[in-house]
Structure 1
């Protein structure tokens, strides 16, 4: 049938749908099978070339915990950057408590590891550290690498702070923090201040009023300062190395993000350079690589390639109540 007329029978790279359409034009008198049947015939006669299978990242979803008391979960993010009147770029880093809505930090810093980490250290020293941080997937909090980790995220993990990244494209999962951002923008940057110094002064004033003066509807018109409580989790600054169960082999990640595995170099993540990861066998014959309690990906039995686990793809999610 496929060689009955010149065009359709001489196209070895055409798929079933194209062949069906071409044959319908050339031989309208024939009763043609469905495209799926044509595809089965092609496979049966060895006319479908095998395509190489590419290792793709596996989406990893991390559940968000329910915050019930102050300092249980903090939201951390950068409000969208803008320029002050003198042309300087302004990147406000914000941190708020999920339960009390207390705005713990609103500070202009560079959106980098070198900018954020010292600000967080000072914040933790003053207010203790949360059980978990809910954050965006953008730099410096998240990446497209294994498990979405960055060097900053690794530091949080070594402090014992759980990470709760939101799904890309779903800011409503950190809705209370995002709602605060809208108020912050309206009250402090329309229009922007003359300089970064004046803009920071506006942020400081906003934080005082937001915490101590402005009633909050979701708090029965109380202020966040009245609901917030001292933190029982004190900050020691100690970065603990992760522990692994006895069935794990432990490997230090080399400077460029590789590990040595069965006489081969396998790339894991540059964010983990210098860190210890654990690798455990699975019943399938594959091995799972972990940093602390976070699964990084699989080392496959067949190809010994690393298939990383990553953040979920952008999607739609039910927004968090922001009242």
Structure 2
């Protein structure tokens, strides 16, 4: 006999009387269609409160965690308008400003924002399993820097804006957020020179496959990444069409866009001022959950590797020969010139002899491909003849 919505107190009282007459807990649960736990609950309430304990009780908590004062609600709304952050970061910031106030939980702050129309619903997207190459771990300041040109846009007067962003992978410290008039090698390199002079050299730099960071040349190297390699910096690149490989930098870009380009400023000068203001706030005020709610500024320190006055030449091991690439991008081997790429003009490549026919070409630690000494041809893919030899050795 399952309990009905009407006269439920009477049915509970009948259950109590049946128990007093000798019915077991299991029998009561079966007869009244409830769980043993429910039977125990009402027996205990009857023992403590009598018949009043069998009446329906309000489920409202004695103190609602979602109930906030108008002053607290106003402070939350003001903080949202000032910083535009999510509830977690807002709670940290509010506590930093006044720890005497019993600021509500993150979920309550989120509810306040939603109730006041300050939350923009995002479209749910299916999550794709992330499989990344073995990139270097950003386990300390300057271990890995993340770089990119954020997608260009036009400011109010129609001028194109191309922000170059450089951030530290460990601390999230935004080292540079700077508009560059032309995104080619020369002006981009100038920004990096200033950054290296101020903060020192990183262990690695992670970029996408776009210019000027990469190219279609062997090894994916460009003039800029060649310069990085000569400075002793490991070059990492995301897989094509995989922005998640540089995910934390991409997330920063979304925050940057929302804060400075919706809408864009009237002129480039004002836009750069907005970039600088964002950079200061992002580094010095905005807490990050991944940093235990610390700011990037509190977790970053400059690199111990200073920028050299003169870019050193690459050194190769004793097991390698070296050749200087011509202005036209060709390498001379056994008296014959073979085209490699113009991007290596006047650079020194390392040559590792495999046998009388095949040699491997390197630029620093990066293998560029294989040179066929018989046909005087260059291939970026390992020749089938060498693969066949390896298989025969294994067998």
| TM-score after normalising by structure 1 | 0.74
Instruction: State which of 211, 225, 234 in structure 2 corresponds to 1:139.
Output: 211
CA distances 1:255-303 after superposition (whole Å, capped 9, x unpaired):
0111112232211111110111111111584110111111111002442
Contact 1:62 1:164 in 2 (8 A): no
Q: Which residue of 2 aligns with 1:66?
A: 137
Q: Which residue of 1 aligns with 2:165?
A: 94
Q: Secondary structure at the match of 1:191?
A: coil
The answer to whether 1:163 aligns with 2:235 is yes
The answer to whether 1:181 aligns with 2:253 is yes
| TM-score after normalising by structure 2 | 0.61
In 2, Cα distance between equivalents of 1:72 and 1:107: 22
Q: Secondary structure at the match of 1:246?
A: coil
In 1, Cα distance between equivalents of 2:168 and 2:248: 9
Alignment of 1:116-131 (within 5 A): 116-131=188-203
Structure with greater Cα Rg: 2
Contact 1:253 1:273 in 2 (8 A): yes
Q: 1:134 to 1:227 in 2, by over 3 A?
A: same
Q: 1:284 to 1:167 in 2, by over 3 A?
A: farther
Alignment of 1:1-323 (within 5 A): 63-109=134-180, 110-283=182-355, 285-308=357-380
In 1, Cα distance between equivalents of 2:340 and 2:133: 20
In 2, Cα distance between equivalents of 1:78 and 1:309: 30
CA distances 1:205-239 after superposition (whole Å, capped 9, x unpaired):
00000000111121121111111123212112331
- Alpha-carbon RMSD across the aligned residues, in angstroms, is 1.7
CA distances 1:43-81 after superposition (whole Å, capped 9, x unpaired):
xxxxxxxxxxxxxxxxxx974111111111100110001
Deviation at 1:136, TM superposition (A): 1.0
In 2, Cα distance between equivalents of 1:309 and 1:202: 46
In 1, Cα distance between equivalents of 2:134 and 2:354: 23
Higher strand share: 1
Q: Secondary structure at the match of 1:298?
A: strand
Q: Secondary structure at the match of 2:240?
A: coil
Contact 1:213 1:223 in 2 (8 A): yes
Deviation at 1:304, TM superposition (A): 2.2
More RCO (CA 8 Å, sep 6+): 1
Deviation at 1:154, TM superposition (A): 0.9
Q: 1:284 to 1:63 in 2, by over 3 A?
A: farther
Contact 1:296 1:308 in 2 (8 A): yes
Deviation at 1:201, TM superposition (A): 0.4
Deviation at 1:309, TM superposition (A): 5.7
Contact 1:288 1:295 in 2 (8 A): yes
In 2, Cα distance between equivalents of 1:75 and 1:237: 24
Q: Secondary structure at the match of 1:160?
A: coil
Unpaired runs of at least 5, structure 1: 1-60, 311-323
